[in-house]
Amino acid sequence: MKNKGLIIAGLVVFFIIALTPWWWNLVTGTKAKAPEPKLTAKAEAAKNCVESKDFMKKEHMQLLDQWREEVVRQERRTYVNTEGKSFDMSLTNTCLDCHSNKAEFCDSCHNYTSVRPYCFDCHNIPKEAN
Amino acid sequence: MDNSRRTFLKIAGIAAAGLTAAPAVTSLASSASPSKGGKVVRNPEALTAKHWGMVIDTRKLTTSADLEPIIEACHRIHNVPTFEDDLMMPQLPCRMAETESLKQSCEKVNEKIPKISSDKKRHEIKWIWEEEFHNLFPDQLNPYLTEHLEHLPFLTLCNHCANPSCVQACPTKATFQREDGIVLMDFHRCIGCRFCMAACPYGSRSFNFRDPRQGLKEINTAFPTRMKGVVEKCNFCAERLSKGQMPACVEASNGTILFGDLNDPESEVRKALKENYAVRRQPSLGTEPSVYYIL
Ligand code: SF4
Ligand code: SF4
């Protein structure tokens, strides 16, 4: 270990450079703005989605995955939520009927987290289709 | 030195075990979670059968004009595209564009891509279409067919075979058979390998070489479109049956196409088969088609 000093110095320089974005945010106090998905009047009036807001925030992807499996493969197309209310399990006709502002609602978060679901390659967005 | 390497490996090993176990534990926990939501049930009004089947009365469907509204009804509600011109070069996938302006310039480039219109059929997508006798029943060896059959236009679609070769060929289980006999496609799972197309002896499947939305003047929002690179075919209107409706072609046919339970001797289809001579396409292949033609 005769180059100990050099190695440590090199590592320090490396970490400073590699972590610049982090330092930058720390020093300047800038934070990436978290998205604020907008609700449509209809969604606002409904208060709850098919499940609670909290559940939907965390699990809408699992829920949709379950829906697609059930609808296509198991032929079960009605969702009865925890409060006993029934919904037609359809991305376009149920989800997007309420959240008809896809760009302001779905996309705002998806873009922020750089998630690109390809659901809409096939599933129609009512507004865009007409 | 040796000793410390040992301890290092030990700690690293434990850490690695912890790291690999953690996602497994969390996924176990979350795989159960959607069910802590609601429950899913069948639509109560859904039509059911032990084995769905179809009877096409060719005596009453004698001209192309008779078939046209039937084909139109199916293709319209299922967003089956019609391409007016053939592409010479592939187009850019503009839907992937991140911003609206990028998307617009991408579409502008696509518009400039040269098109040819010589062979409209090359990219054709069909769920139900017109075919002549010789293509429908190629093993009918009689070269002197009656005048009537020689010129009769036949409706053809996926036969929803009881023993479907397409299902056996599909490596991803995207094509599967329901308990009620319907051979269905899970478009989410299709990887476009086209094994099923090679396996189907009836040419009932089409491949989306192009983005189907480009071939649609109007989109029916009640049914999804498909994407480029996916195989598709008739689904016996599974989405309509689940709402208690008959298939679209049956509804548009004014009683010339019957649909019902082949396992039920009292059903309309069985009654029609009892009283009339009917044939199926290439029964010798053993696929057991569920579509019958009254001649
Ligand atoms: S007709 Fe072809 S696609 Fe339809 S079930 Fe039979 S083998 Fe499969
Ligand atoms: S093309 Fe799709 S449906 Fe056909 S065999 Fe391949 S994965 Fe299955």
pLDDT of res. B20: 63
Other Cβ atoms closer than 10 A to B22: 10
Output phi, psi for A45, to 5 deg: -65, -35
Residue B125 · residue B81 · CB < 8 Å = yes
For ligand 1, say whether the CB of B204 is within 6 Å of any of its atoms: yes
Residues of chain B positioned with their CB less than 8 A from the CB of A102: none
Distant-in-sequence, close-in-space partners of B140: CB < 8 Å, separation ≥ 6: B133, B134
- Going by pLDDT thresholds of 50, 70 and 90, the confidence category of residue B66 is very high
Query: A28 vs chain B: nearest CA distance in angstroms?
Result: 28
Name the residue of chain A whose CA is nearest to B180's CA: A75
More confident residue, A125 or B66: B66
Q: How far apart are CA A90 and CA A100, in angstroms?
A: 13
pLDDT of res. B32: 40
Q: Would you say residue B21 has pLDDT above 70?
A: no
Residue B41 · residue A78 · CB < 8 Å = yes
For ligand 1, say whether the CB of B181 is within 6 Å of any of its atoms: no
Residues of chain A positioned with their CB less than 8 A from the CB of B45: none
Q: Give residue-wise pLDDT tens across range B198-256.
A: 999 999 999 999 889 989 999 999 999 999 999 999 999 999 999 999 999 999 999 99
Among B166, B172, B184, name the best residue to mutate to test ligand 2's pocket (greatest count of ligand atoms within 8 A of Cβ): B172
Q: Would you say residue B28 has pLDDT above 60?
A: no
**Interchain proximity B37–A68, CB inside 8 Å:** no
H/E stretch holding A7 reads: helix A4-18
Give whichever of A23-37, B38-52, B65-79 has the largest mean pLDDT: B65-79
For ligand 2, say whether the CB of B192 is within 6 Å of any of its atoms: yes
Tell me the mean pLDDT in the region A105-126.
90
Q: Would you say residue B116 has pLDDT above 80?
A: no
Smallest Cα–Cα separation from B170: which of B147, B153, B187, B195?
A: B195
Residues of chain A positioned with their CB less than 8 A from the CB of B38: 50-51, 79-82
Give A36-57 as a DSSP string: -PPPPHHHHHH-S-SS-HHHHH
Amino acid at B257: I
For ligand 1, say whether the CB of B158 is within 6 Å of any of its atoms: yes
For ligand 1, say whether the CB of B294 is within 6 Å of any of its atoms: no
Q: Give residue-wise pLDDT tens across range A8-43.
A: 999 999 999 999 988 888 888 777 778 888 999 999
Q: Quote the ligand 1 centre to A55 CA distance (angstroms).
A: 41
Name the residue of chain B whose CA is nearest to A123's CA: B224
Q: Would you say residue B141 has pLDDT above 90?
A: no
Average pLDDT, chain B: 89
For chain A, give percent helix, strand, coil, nearest 5: 55, 5, 40
Other Cβ atoms closer than 10 A to B214: 13
Q: How far apart are CA A76 and CA A80, in angstroms?
A: 11
pLDDT of res. B118: 61
- Going by pLDDT thresholds of 50, 70 and 90, the confidence category of residue B190 is very high
Q: How far apart are CA B293 and CA B295, in angstroms?
A: 6
Tell me the mean pLDDT in the region B31-41.
65
**Residue B77: alpha-carbon gap to chain centroid:** 13
Other Cβ atoms closer than 10 A to B177: 17
CA distance readout (Å), B150 to B41, B146, B280, B283, B295: 49, 6, 17, 20, 12
Residue B292 · residue B53 · CB < 8 Å = yes
- Going by pLDDT thresholds of 50, 70 and 90, the confidence category of residue B96 is confident
Tell me the mean pLDDT in the region A39-65.
92
Residues of chain A positioned with their CB less than 8 A from the CB of B238: 75
More confident residue, B114 or A99: A99
Q: What's the pTM value of the predicted model, to 2 decimals?
A: 0.81
Tell me the mean pLDDT in the region B29-33.
44
Q: Name the residue at shortest CA distance from atom 8 of ligand 1.
A: B166
CB pairs under 8 A between A and B: 80
Q: Would you say residue A75 has pLDDT above 50?
A: yes
Which among B221, B224, B242 has CB closest to A122?
Answer: B224
A7: contact with B, CB 8 A cutoff: no
Name the residue of chain A whose CA is nearest to B36's CA: A82
Asked which of A36-40, B24-28, B185-189 is least confident by mean pLDDT, the reply is B24-28
pLDDT of res. B31: 43
B4: contact with A, CB 8 A cutoff: no
Average pLDDT, chain A: 89
Q: Quote the ligand 1 centre to B164 CA distance (angstroms).
A: 6
Query: B275 vs chain A: nearest CA distance in angstroms?
Result: 33
- Going by pLDDT thresholds of 50, 70 and 90, the confidence category of residue A130 is very low
Query: B220 vs chain A: nearest CA distance in angstroms?
Result: 8
**Complex ipTM value:** 0.78
Name the residue of chain B whose CA is nearest to A125's CA: B221
**Helices A20-28 and A4-18: angle between axes, nearest 10 degrees:** 60
